[in-house]
Amino acid sequence: MVDVDVEAGETVLDIYERNGWGDGLPLEAPTPERVDAMLQALAPVNGRPVDPDEVIAVLPPRSGEATRRTIAINAVLAGCRPEHLPVLISAVRALAHPDLNLRGVNATTHPVAPLLIVHGQAAVDGGFNAGLGAFGPGNRANAAVGRALRLILLHIAGARPGPGDASTQGGPAKYGYCVAENLDESPWGGYARSVGVDAPSAITIHCGEAPHNVHDMESEEPARVLDKVASAMTSTGQNNAPISQGEYFVALCPEHAAACAADGWTRDDVAAYLFNQARMRVSELKRAFGLRAWAPWMQRLSDDDLVPMTEAAANIKVVVIGGAGKHSSVIPSWGMTRSVTLPVEP
């Protein structure tokens, strides 16, 4: 425990700055009373209270042990409310999943950040913004939970710029990257159920770049809308271009999603269309990249062939996010990582 010298005008931010902690922004003091109040909001499991000091996950690069208590400390620091804690605990479990490859995510020079998407009842109960401006400021749940997850990476995983986070330029998403799925306006039901997680509340972690805007104010035909999405996916500048296992999260706004659904297109139809449409000539990608981590069948293509930006349509994930207005986004992954969706559990 560290005492704050109030008479000397010292603040929590001063202490954290002096010790190389925090994210540089003002912090809420994680007093024992506040941390305990956060932990008391956790529901029992099978009729028994959860253990606040049980190790939930071990996070690289420094193999830090994340317990419910240490997660709660970071939640308090970031300004979370008690009802946000189960979302954070579940997100930490997802970070530790081997498919996500957190060690690689933290070690790469790419500006990758874990995007946390909240699904279902937890998004409603926690007050998360799934609508207008979901990726932007103004909502406590999105801002505080996204920030808390980054503080966990800084304080527990040790992913500080330099020794633990090698990102060349970093990025604003490394302060906080959290939204909710707009389930009310999704014509296809919830994303989590589409990937086999049938729970009242769930979270997804996708380690990717900042959103790439897709603008179409005119089209009502799915193909015309999705051709622009495919255009945003076909770039040699994003990390997925030379890596065939990379995922793309396509965050469709409600109006673009409705245009697709009105013509009978399913979520899988959207992904299949983008898989076939988002392609580049092999020769162009060979000129751009001497090193290509492509699937064997892609390596056998001739220079004049068109190659998809990822090796399978299943790597294109479609989720509805946002409010009124015809802007969607594409979020390419870092490449050597897989998204993880888990139920929300204390």
Summarize pLDDT for 127-172 with one digit per residue, the tens. 999 999 999 999 999 999 999 999 999 999 999 999 899 999 999 9
Read off the pLDDT of each residue in 40-52 and give the average, rounded to a whole number: 93
Is 153 a member of any domain? yes
Summarize pLDDT for 237-249 with one digit per residue, the tens. 999 999 999 999 9
Write out the two tokens for 314: 């299943």
Binned at pLDDT 50, 70 and 90, residue 207 comes out as very high
The answer to whether the CB of 170 falls within 8 A of the CB of 211 is no
| Percent residues over pLDDT 90 in the chain | 95
Q: How many domains does the chain have?
A: 1
Distance, in Å, from the CA atom of 230 to the CA atom of 288, rounded to the nearest integer, reads 19
Summarize pLDDT for 82-111 with one digit per residue, the tens. 999 999 999 999 999 999 999 999 999 999
Nearest to 106 by CA among 117, 95, 93, 92: 95
State the virtual CA torsion across 218, 271, 323, 133 in degrees, nearest 10.
-110
Residue 5, pLDDT above cutoff 90: no
Residue 32, pLDDT above cutoff 80: yes
212-215 β-sheet, strand order: 212-215, 327-332, 248-252, 316-320
Summarize pLDDT for 306-335 with one digit per residue, the tens. 999 999 999 999 999 999 999 999 999 999
Is 238 a member of any domain? yes
Binned at pLDDT 50, 70 and 90, residue 10 comes out as confident
Is 53 a member of any domain? yes
Q: Does the reported pTM lie above 0.75?
A: yes
Is 196 a member of any domain? yes
Residue 4, pLDDT above cutoff 70: no
Residue 6, pLDDT above cutoff 60: no
When the pLDDT of each residue in the chain is averaged and rounded to a whole number, the result is 96
The residue segments making up the domain with residue 97 are: 31-343
Binned at pLDDT 50, 70 and 90, residue 338 comes out as very high
